[in-house]
Structure 1
Amino acid sequence: MSLTQTELEKKLAELIDRHHVPGAQLAVLDGDTITEVTAGVLSIRTGCPVSTDALFLPGSIGKLYTATLVLMLADEGLVDLDQPVKTYLPDFEVRDAHARDSVTVRDLLRHTSGFDGDVFIDTGRGDDALPRYLQEIRDLPQIADPGTIWSYSNSGYSILGRLVEVVADTVFETALRERLLEPLGLEHSVVFPEEVIGHPHAMGHVPNPEDPGSLMVSPQWGLFRSCGPMGASLVASAGDVIRFALLHLDGGVAADGTRLLSAEIVAAAQQPQIDLVDDTVLGESWGLGWILDHFGDVAVIGHDGNSLGQNAFMRVAPAQRFGFCLQTNVESALAMYRELADWLFEERLGVTTRQDPAALDSPVVADPSRYVGTYQREGLVFEIAEAEDGSLVASVRASHAAAEMQNLPPMDDLPLVPVVRDGSFLLELPIADSALLAVFFNPADASAAPTYLHFGGRAHRRVS
Structure 2
Amino acid sequence: MPISQTFPFLAPCSPRSPRPPRTGRPAAAACAALLAAATVLPGAPAASAADEAKALPSAIDALVQEYRDAAGVPGVAVAVTRGAETVHAAGYGTTPVGDPVTADTPMAMASVSKSFTAAAVLQLVEAGEVDLDEPVRTYLPEFEMADPRAERITVLQLLDQTSGMSDTTFPAFTREQPEDLREAVASMRTGRLAADPGERHEYHNPNTQVAARLVEAVAGRPFAEQLRAGVFEPLGMENSTTIDTDRDLPPSAHGHLKAFGAPVAAPEPRAFGNGSGGVISTADDMAAWLIAQNNGGKGAGGARIASAESIERMHTPSPNSGSYALGWSVGETPSGAPVIAHGGDLFTSTAYQALLPESGHGVAVMANTGMAYGDAQAIADALITLIEEEEAPAPPSQAALVWTDVLLTALAAGAAAAAWFGARRAPRWARLRAGRPLGAALRLLPLALPPLLFAEIHRVVGFLFRGRDVAWIQVSYLYPSFMLLLGAAALACAVVAAARIASLVRNRARRD
TM-score between the two structures when normalised by the length of structure 2: 0.63
Shift of 1:71: 0.3
Report the CA distance shift for 1:182/1:333 in structure 2 as closer, same or farther (over 3 A).
farther
**Alignment correspondent of 1:301:** 340
Paired residue secondary structure (2:234): coil
Within 2, Cα distance between the matches of 1:56 and 1:338? 15
1:312 aligns with 2:351: yes
- Where do 5+ consecutive residues of structure 2 fail to align? 1-34, 36-51, 393-457, 487-512
Query: Which of residues 155, 160, 165 in structure 2 aligns to 1:105?
Result: 155
Query: Which of residues 202, 208, 218 in structure 1 aligns to 2:266?
Result: 218
Shift of 1:197: 10
**Alignment correspondent of 2:71:** 19
Shift of 1:383: 8.3
**Alignment correspondent of 2:178:** 123
Q: Residue 73 of structure 2 contacts residue 263 of structure 2 at CA under 8 Å; is this kept in 1?
A: no
Within 1, Cα distance between the matches of 2:317 and 2:148? 28
1:22-60 deviations in Å (ceiling 9; x for gaps)? 2111111134233023322211xx433222211110111
Report the CA distance shift for 1:90/1:352 in structure 2 as closer, same or farther (over 3 A).
farther
Q: Residue 82 of structure 1 contacts residue 104 of structure 1 at CA under 8 Å; is this kept in 2?
A: yes
Shift of 1:199: 8.3
1:332 aligns with 2:371: yes
1:66 aligns with 2:117: yes
1:266 aligns with 2:311: yes
Q: Report the AA paired with residue 218 of structure 1.
A: A
Shift of 1:205: 0.8
**Alignment correspondent of 1:322:** 361
1:57-90 deviations in Å (ceiling 9; x for gaps)? 0111111111100000011111110111111111
**Alignment correspondent of 2:94:** 41
Report the CA distance shift for 1:34/1:333 in structure 2 as closer, same or farther (over 3 A).
farther
Paired residue secondary structure (2:90): strand
Paired residue secondary structure (1:138): helix
Shift of 1:319: 3.3
1:358-380 deviations in Å (ceiling 9; x for gaps)? xxxxxxxxxxxxxxxxxxxxx85
Q: Report the AA paired with residue 266 of structure 2.
A: S
Within 1, Cα distance between the matches of 2:346 and 2:287? 19
Q: Residue 342 of structure 1 contacts residue 351 of structure 1 at CA under 8 Å; is this kept in 2?
A: no
**Alignment correspondent of 1:292:** 330
Q: Residue 81 of structure 1 contacts residue 104 of structure 1 at CA under 8 Å; is this kept in 2?
A: yes
Within 2, Cα distance between the matches of 1:183 and 1:222? 32
Report the CA distance shift for 1:397/1:131 in structure 2 as closer, same or farther (over 3 A).
closer
**Alignment correspondent of 2:277:** 231
Within 1, Cα distance between the matches of 2:249 and 2:275? 23
Shift of 1:344: 2.7
Within 2, Cα distance between the matches of 1:249 and 1:179? 18
**Alignment correspondent of 1:162:** 213
Within 2, Cα distance between the matches of 1:324 and 1:333? 21
Report the CA distance shift for 1:35/1:197 in structure 2 as closer, same or farther (over 3 A).
farther
Paired residue secondary structure (1:230): coil
Count how many residue pairs are aligned between Structure 1 and Structure 2.
360
The structure that is strand-richer by fraction is 1
Shift of 1:252: 1.8
Shift of 1:150: 1.3
Paired residue secondary structure (2:190): coil
Higher-Rg structure is: 2
Structure with more contact order per residue of length (Cα contacts < 8 Å, sep ≥ 6): 2
Paired residue secondary structure (2:191): coil
Q: Residue 290 of structure 1 contacts residue 301 of structure 1 at CA under 8 Å; is this kept in 2?
A: yes
Q: Residue 291 of structure 1 contacts residue 302 of structure 1 at CA under 8 Å; is this kept in 2?
A: yes
After superposition, residues 26-425 of structure 1 pair within 5 angstroms as 26-31=78-83, 32-43=85-96, 46-98=97-149, 100-117=150-167, 119-120=172-173, 121-124=176-179, 129-192=180-243, 201-207=252-258, 214-220=262-268, 223-224=271-272, 227-232=273-278, 234-274=279-319, 285-295=323-333, 296-332=335-371, 336-337=375-376, 339-350=378-389, 381=460, 400-401=470-471, 404=473, 407-408=476-477
Shift of 1:290: 1.2
The structure that is helix-richer by fraction is 2
Shift of 1:237: 0.7
Paired residue secondary structure (1:228): coil
**Alignment correspondent of 1:453:** none
Within 1, Cα distance between the matches of 2:264 and 2:475? 12
Within 2, Cα distance between the matches of 1:26 and 1:65? 18
Shift of 1:400: 4.3
Q: Report the AA paired with residue 123 of structure 1.
A: P
Report the CA distance shift for 1:14/1:222 in structure 2 as closer, same or farther (over 3 A).
farther
Report the CA distance shift for 1:115/1:396 in structure 2 as closer, same or farther (over 3 A).
closer
